Structure 1
């Protein structure tokens, strides 16, 4: 028997942008509420099974599409003004405010995937989070990546992205298995930040004039997979160097230890990887208010 409700909702950002989202509500007591922060170019449906698992364990959940992605894209993707920066400054804070509205008087948690964890320091209301649990969130610094994957990553960022933007007005990332088509501004910023050090730190004092990376003291768990070519230990450490006061735990999981063929950068959230999800539940139970 289904122990929760799921409803598609619309969330209004402060700048007027509307986001498509899904609200998952437990039928019984709410232990806490979770914002699922998606990876770059990944639609919220990718996290559906994981969200169902969380809500079945008593947690309210909102998953969403960033502006310019999935059902949050209005019009042509080449016309979208979206950027990584506005995902962190506008989209994530709006979803957290919606989460607080739907689930008052509880604790609030971010479960971030890749960019969904990296951008937390751009949230003006990030201090309202009781905890952060990130998977595959790192700086993605290209120069730290190992051969042969570094060749593929450099080609995508420094050849495919600029050429695709030039010829099509956006990045056709779906052609190389990199999620949804990306608005030009998202891909440009992604390329710039991954070519630099500390990811978003590259933009401090340039496009990013206010942030909270130096102020967050939230308990956080940063999980990566031993077979992930992007969120390698050096890149996780590079991302963590941007935070000055964050309370940090790290965990590296291997597919072999969990009877899996692969985890990589994406498959933590696959139904086949359900054996990994208890890590998230254990973390939430440690940092929830009830």
Structure 2
């Protein structure tokens, strides 16, 4: 079981977070960055596993999601870039400020690996392990999947955001996504450089600043959300980090589909989670 926490952001929001630990003197700290529209509770089994193996682990919800939800879905502070620039940055400061004696690592799932490059204090991280993290530009998908991506970025998300002030969770398969976050996400997905400013210029300073060790895990049956070209593209953003890509062949692990979300399910504790421990050393 974890201990609930509140982490304040510089722009006046409070993030719901959870602290997992089984040791008085943990060997290091790990921050878990969630995927888009996925609540932190999804990672609780994985966080407990890391805690049992000696780590202090922090999960949290981005603004607008789960325990960090806000009452006004159209609040202008709700953007995807703020997930990195404000939220992840606040969590890094909170962790490194309270537990100065620990080296801090990050495990990022999907967008959780993207926003690392947006945090101004990301150089406080010792290493990063990304699971199915990718550039969301539609052109990185295989031709047969591109029409679906184009429909998502150009029609579905803008239309639903305008009508409802959010993209319903039933559409995303997770939590509802506030309009400002969804619209920026779709704007990025329409652009070949993906993470860009309002003028379409690539945002890369924070990505290029990071020089730590980074592992990118690509799962071969995760073709709907993180195909290989998309994973490789994000890796290239972190051009000064010591990066490596590992491809997981799902058929050698299970007779089920691992896909985009399977890695963090408890049934893969024995087959996949140990790789994170090996990475952390």
Q: TM-score range by the shorter chain?
A: over 0.9
Is structure 2 residue 84 aligned with structure 1 residue 51?
A: no
- Spell out, residue by residue over 1:195-229, the C-alpha distance to the aligned partner (whole angstroms, 9 max, x if none): 222321x3286688784112211100000100011
Shift of 1:56: 0.6
Shift of 1:67: 0.4
1:26 aligned counterpart, secondary structure: coil
Is structure 2 residue 231 aligned with structure 1 residue 242?
A: no
1:239 aligned counterpart, secondary structure: helix
Q: 2:222 aligns with which of 219, 228, 249?
A: 228
Higher mean alpha-carbon deviation, 225-234 vs 76-85, is at 76-85
Q: 2:186 aligns with which of 188, 191, 196?
A: 191
Higher mean alpha-carbon deviation, 177-186 vs 202-211, is at 202-211
CA contact (8 A) 1:78 1:168 kept: no
RMSD (Å) for aligned C-alpha atoms? 1.9
Q: 1:21 aligns with which of 5, 10, 17?
A: 17
- Spell out, residue by residue over 1:223-264, the C-alpha distance to the aligned partner (whole angstroms, 9 max, x if none): 010001122221112112222211101101022211241111
CA contact (8 A) 2:37 2:172 kept: no
Q: 1:203 aligns with which of 192, 197, 215?
A: 197
Name the CA distance, whole Å, in 2 between partners of 1:166 and 1:6: 37
Name the CA distance, whole Å, in 1 between partners of 2:81 and 2:260: 22
Name the CA distance, whole Å, in 1 between partners of 2:277 and 2:256: 23
CA contact (8 A) 2:117 2:204 kept: no
Alpha carbons of 1:72 and 1:265: their partners in 2 closer, same or farther (altered >3 Å)?
same
Consecutive unaligned residues in structure 2, runs of 5 or more: none
Q: 1:123 aligns with which of 119, 123, 133?
A: 119
Shift of 1:26: 2.3
Count how many residue pairs are aligned between Structure 1 and Structure 2.
Answer: 279
TM-score (structure 1 length as normaliser) = 0.90
CA contact (8 A) 1:198 1:241 kept: no
Shift of 1:16: 1.5
Consecutive unaligned residues in structure 1, runs of 5 or more: 286-290
Name the CA distance, whole Å, in 2 between partners of 1:48 and 1:15: 27
Shift of 1:79: 4.1
TM-score (structure 2 length as normaliser) = 0.93
Name the CA distance, whole Å, in 2 between partners of 1:280 and 1:9: 25
Name the CA distance, whole Å, in 2 between partners of 1:145 and 1:178: 20
1:155 aligned counterpart, secondary structure: helix
Alpha carbons of 1:165 and 1:207: their partners in 2 closer, same or farther (altered >3 Å)?
farther
CA contact (8 A) 1:198 1:238 kept: no
2:29 aligned counterpart, secondary structure: strand
Q: 1:158 aligns with which of 148, 154, 158?
A: 154
Poorly superposed stretches of 4+, deviation over 6 Å: 207-210
1:213 aligned counterpart, secondary structure: helix
CA contact (8 A) 2:64 2:178 kept: yes
Name the CA distance, whole Å, in 2 between partners of 1:177 and 1:85: 19
